[in-house]
Structure formats: structure tokens, C-alpha cells
């Protein structure tokens, strides 16, 4: 009966989002309520369970996600992202523009949410493409693969951060492991996969050609790179400190806390753009408001996922499922990937897929015995699998590159599948290495 209730709740969630087109936040709450009743939670305590799930999830993620969004917005409006793209292109030359865009997508994608990164960087890629008369898909695909990888694998993106919060993962380790897995995924899904489209004819819409900002307003090159990489470097420092005596003191506590790291980085960038670039305070306030509006829906989705997870925890159904699955020979990391991939295909949202799967897998950790840091990456990889017509990213790619649905399926969709499968293989290889050496 418990298994049927879980399966029924997942089917209900997919139907509400995919068929009835409800907002995922509302769909998560209704599904959590129905699942709680089906799993035997008393109606008198169910509202408290939902409240606890909402509060715990927001408490774990709201600071870092909001700070990351604001940081990404400032990187965009300050001209730092454009400066990074132009610097890579200048250093590597027109013949290696593809690699320049790949590195740009990877570096700028770390602090930027996927949709923001896509809208910001694709027009810059078009400027390079038109200027050098290059094949659009062949040139831009590595950058898009890099954006997708950073979105699925690396904090401070909302999905990896929220999945990590549910699983009790260490943000610094997720960042380190994610970098290891990301490199082969980006290379195979980017430059290698893009070779198929070297002679592919497409004509991106001229609507999306950028109007470049005033070059005098852009920060210096080294400052641009520092703004984009500051959170990652600070988290890496925290991971290093955790291996020393300093890691037990206030310094280690600060750098191992993702909330404090992102907040400190945001303050530094705010001070820079206000005092050095002299962006007026009312303009900065508008930028911050716009960034928070962009992520309000994501925060609600994450909170709703926390409510459903708490229902599974309180009902003990996840423990029952874990005991049942422990008799199977299936690797828990593969199980997490399969579950996330299934929800992704049905619902379309990578964030919803990741959070739903994490809610089921988190209470199973003690029984199935998996590394939560690797599970974050496995679920993240599964959540990217088979992007198709129910995914907003699919339609953004189609419209920006002016492709047919068929061509979008054999370009964008296949690229996402490569990222997902290579990501899983990378996680499994990393698991084997860790178990063999540590």
C-alpha cells in the first residue's frame, strides 16, 4: 500500500504540472497533502508536517539562492560577463572561438542561473558568430553544454544547493566532485558532439544580436574573472581548511558555510559596482529587485518540494522503500539517476526532477549507504536527461537558433542526453576511485 501511495503521488505531481499546467509550488503542496493522507498521517498533524518541510527547506537554501541570483545579476549588468567572453576570444583567436565560448559558459555559468546565463551569453555568442562568419550551432553548442553542466552539477545553482540540503551534502565537496565530473561531460557534449553540426545550416534570428554596452563601463579583465570565480574559490578554500587545524576554528566555520560565503561575495561585488563603477543606488536597487523577481518562482518550488519530502520522512515510507530496494543489486547512485531522469522526462523541469528525487532518496541514506555528495551529482545528471517539448530550455534554444522542432530534438535534446549520461558515468568512476583510495 505504501508503494502504491508513493507511485500515485508522483503520478499526481506529474499530472498536475504536465497535464493541468499547475504551478509546481501548488502542485507540490497538493501532492504532499494527498500523499500524507494516503500514507496514514493524521489530519491534525499534517499541516504541521507541511509547515516543517516548507520552513526547513527555505532555511537551508534561501540565503544562498538569493545571494547567488543577486551576484549573477551584478556580474551581468556590470559588463563582467561580456568582458570574460571578449577576453577569451582575444586570447584564443578566431580559430578557437568555440573553446573561448566554452570557457566563458563554464566560468560565467557558475554564479548565474541557467535561464539568465542563456539569455545573457547566447547573444554574445551570436555577435562572435556574425563577426567571424562561423556556423552557429557548431560554435555555440560547447557554451550551452557548459551552461547545462554548471546548472546541473555545481553550487550555487538552486537545484544542486537544494538537493544537497535535503541529502546533507557538503557544499565544498559537491563543488570539487562536480568539477571533476563536469570536465569530461563538457568536453564530450560540447566540442566533440558539436562536430556533427560543423556544416549544419541555421540562421539565428537577428532580433537576438546584442547591442554592446559602453566598453568604458566594463570592469578590468582580472576583476571580471574574480567576480565570476569568487564564490567557487571561497568554497574551495573552505574545503581545504577543513583538512587543517584551522578548519575547526571560526575561519573554517565561515568558509565552510555556503550562506556566509555567498553573502560575503555579494557584499564585495555590491561595494565594487557602487564605489568603483559608480552605479547609482536606485539603479542597484532596481537590479536587485529584478533578480529576486526572477527567482521567486524557483524559491517557491524548492519550498514545495521540502513539504513533500517531509511527508515521506514522517510517514517512514522512504525507510520502507529503502529496505525493499536494498535487496536489489542496483547501485543507489544509478537508482537516483533513473528516478530523476523519469521525472524530468514527464515533467520537463530539471529543478522539479532533482528535488522530487532528493525527497525520496534522503531518508534512504542510512539503509542504502551512499555518499550524499555523489548522490547530488547523480540526481543532477539525471535531472538533465532528455529535454524535450515540455521543457522551457528546449523552446528557448529552438527560437534563438531559429530551428524546427525536429532539428531541436536532434541537436539540443541529444546534447542534454550526452551531458546526463556522461555525468552519471563520471559519478560512478569517481565513486570507484574514492572507495578504492580513501
CB 80 within 8 A of CB 218: yes
- pLDDT tens per residue, range 238-251: 767 766 777 677 87
- Residue 244's CB: how many other CB atoms inside 10 A? 11
Q: What cell was used for 430? A: 569517481
Crossing angle of the two packed helices 24-38 and 46-77, in degrees rounded to 10: 160
Query: pLDDT, tens digit, for every residue of 118-130?
Result: 766 776 777 677 7
CA-based nearest residue to 161, from 230, 257, 297: 257
Q: How far apart are CA 103 and CA 186, in angstroms?
A: 10
Name the nearest CA neighbour of 160 among 149, 170, 173, 151.
151
**Burial (CB count <10 Å: 0-12, 13-18, 19+), residue 285:** exposed
**In the block, residue with C-alpha cell 547530488:** 376
**What Å distances lie between residue 66 and 58, 255, 397, CA to CA?**
11, 18, 26
State the angle between helix axes of 114-132 and 136-153 in degrees (0 to 180), rounded to the nearest 10.
160
On whether the CB atoms of residues 420 and 409 are closer than 8 A, the answer is no
Measured between alpha carbons, how far is 226 from 195 in angstroms, rounded to an integer?
32
Residue 122: domain span = 2-437
Q: How far from 130 is each of 6, 137, 206, 376, CA to CA, in Å?
A: 51, 12, 10, 39
d(CA 302, CA 321): 23
The Cβ of residue 245 has, within 10 Å, a number of other Cβ atoms equal to 8
The pLDDT score that the predictor gives to residue 420 is: 96
CB 18 within 8 A of CB 346: yes
The secondary structure of residue 17, as a DSSP letter, is: I
Alpha-carbon span 266 to 254, nearest angstrom? 15
Has this prediction a pTM greater than 0.75? no
How far apart CA 263 and CA 260 sit, in angstroms, is: 5
Question: What would the pLDDT profile of 254-310 be if each residue is shown by its tens digit?
Answer: 887 778 888 898 999 999 999 998 889 999 999 889 888 877 887 888 788 888 878
pLDDT of residue 204: 65
pLDDT at 210: 44
Residues of the chain with pLDDT under 70: 1, 111-113, 115-116, 119-120, 123, 127, 131, 203-217, 239, 242-243, 247, 318-328, 346-347, 390, 437-438
- Angle separating helix axes 171-187 and 372-382, nearest 10 degrees: 40
The count of structural domains within the chain is 1
C-alpha cell at 412: 539540443
As given in the structure block, the three cell numbers for residue 151 are 546548472
Please give the pLDDT value at position 247.
66
Give me the phi and psi of 283, to 5 degrees please: -70, -40
Amino acid at each position: 500500500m505504501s508503494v502504491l501511495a508513493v507511485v500515485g503521488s508522483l503520478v499526481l505531481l506529474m499530472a498536475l504540472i504536465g497535464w493541468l499546467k499547475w504551478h509546481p509550488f501548488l502542485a507540490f503542496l497538493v501532492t504532499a497533502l494527498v500523499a500524507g493522507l494516503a500514507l496514514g498521517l493524521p489530519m491534525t498533524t499534517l499541516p504541521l508536517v507541511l509547515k516543517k518541510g516548507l520552513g526547513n527547506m527555505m532555511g537551508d537554501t534561501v540565503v544562498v539562492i538569493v545571494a547567488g541570483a543577486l551576484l549573477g545579476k551584478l556580474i551581468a549588468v556590470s559588463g563582467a560577463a561580456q568582458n570574460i567572453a571578449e577576453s577569451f576570444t582575444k586570447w584564443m583567436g578566431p580559430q578557437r572561438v568555440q573553446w573561448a565560448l566554452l570557457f566563458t559558459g563554464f566560468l560565467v555559468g557558475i554564479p548565474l542561473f541557467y535561464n539568465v546565463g542563456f539569455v545573457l551569453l547566447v547573444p554574445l555568442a551570436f555577435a562572435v558568430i556574425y563577426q567571424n562568419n562561423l556556423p552557429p550551432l557548431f560554435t555555440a553548442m560547447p557554451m550551452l553544454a557548459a551552461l547545462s553542466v554548471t546548472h546541473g552539477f555545481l553550487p550555487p545553482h538552486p537545484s544542486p544547493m537544494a538537493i544537497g540540503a535535503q541529502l546533507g551534502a557538503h557544499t565544498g565537496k559537491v563543488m570539487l566532485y562536480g568539477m571533476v565530473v563536469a570536465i569530461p561531460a563538457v568536453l564530450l557534449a560540447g566540442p566533440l558532439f558539436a562536430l556533427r553540426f560543423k556544416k549544419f545550416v541555421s540562421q539565428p534570428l537577428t532580433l537576438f544580436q546584442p547591442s554592446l554596452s559602453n566598453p568604458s563601463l566594463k570592469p578590468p579583465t582580472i576583476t571580471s574573472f574574480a567576480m565570476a570565480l569568487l564564490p567557487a574559490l571561497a568554497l574551495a578554500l573552505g574545503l581545504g581548511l577543513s583538512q587543517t587545524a584551522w578548519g575547526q576554528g571560526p575561519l573554517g566555520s565561515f568558509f565552510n558555510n555556503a550562506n556566509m560565503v555567498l553573502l560575503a561575495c555579494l557584499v564585495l561585488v555590491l561595494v565594487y559596482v557602487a564605489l568603483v563603477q559608480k552605479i547609482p543606488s536606485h539603479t542597484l536597487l532596481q537590479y536587485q529587485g529584478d533578480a529576486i523577481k526572477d527567482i521567486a518562482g524557483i524559491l517557491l518550488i524548492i519550498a514545495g518540494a521540502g513539504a513533500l519530502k517531509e511527508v515521506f520522512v514522517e510517514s517512514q515510507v522512504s525507510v520502507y522503500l529503502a529496505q525493499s530496494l536494498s535487496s536489489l543489486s542496483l547501485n543507489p547512485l544509478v537508482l537516483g539517476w533513473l528516478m530523476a531522469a523519469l521525472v524530468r522526462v514527464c515533467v520537463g523541469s530539471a529543478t522539479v526532477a532533482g528535488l522530487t528525487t532528493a525527497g525520496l532518496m534522503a531518508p534512504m541514506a542510512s539503509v542504502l549507504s551512499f555518499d550524499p555528495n555523489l548522490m547530488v551529482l547523480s540526481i543532477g545528471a539525471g535531472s538533465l536527461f532528455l529535454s524535450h517539448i515540455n521543457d522551457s530550455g528546449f523552446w528557448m534554444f529552438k527560437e534563438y537558433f531559429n530551428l524546427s522542432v525536429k532539428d531541436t530534438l536532434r541537436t539540443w535534446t541529444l546534447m542534454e542526453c550526452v551531458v546526463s549520461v556522461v555525468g552519471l558515468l563520471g559519478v560512478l568512476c569517481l565513486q570507484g576511485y574514492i572507495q578504492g583510495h580513501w
